[in-house]
Amino acid sequence: RFVEGDDAVELVDAQLLDHRVVEEALLGICDVCGAHNFAPEERQRWEQLFAAQREERHASLTPTEIQTLRHTLHLSQEDFARLIGATRPSVAAWESPERTVPPSRTADLLMKLVAQAVQTRDVAVLDILLDEAKKWNVVLEVRLPHPVS
């Protein structure tokens, strides 16, 4: 049986190490043992909430930005997928305006690094990664070793 809870459920998006609270979660409770579980529809709703929150923070490239980057490089979806270590269906899904799930954080970061390289021909990898981490409320202090002369 599934019941609507008055309590919010805190979830962790393992892929993003991102904590989110989902209000009015639909929670399944086993009549025999009392174990809690979630309906597949509820999980899908949560994934859509996560994706919407990522879009609001501009934490992921938009479908248009991904497609523009690919076109700037004059690559087909298949060749762009090869470039970043993805699959053609993944690239097609990421470029779709109706996408329900954005790219993984790793794929998104790699595409942002490629975009920076296209714009400036110079990529400050650590600066980009640290700026992107801030969008996830992760503040890191990196101490680089002194260059050897």
Quick one: pLDDT at residue 126?
Answer: 82
Flag the least confident range among 28-37, 94-103, 109-118.
Answer: 28-37
The closest of 88, 134, 92, 129 to 112, measured between CA atoms, is 129
Share of the chain above pLDDT 90, in %: 30
> Quick one: which H or E segment has residue 27?
strand 26-29
Q: Which residue has the higher pLDDT, 127 or 41?
A: 127
Quick: pLDDT tens for 12-24: 444 444 555 666 6
Quick: pLDDT tens for 29-65: 777 887 777 777 777 777 777 767 766 777 789 999 9
**Tokens, residue 137:** 């409320």
Which amino acid type is present at position 7? D
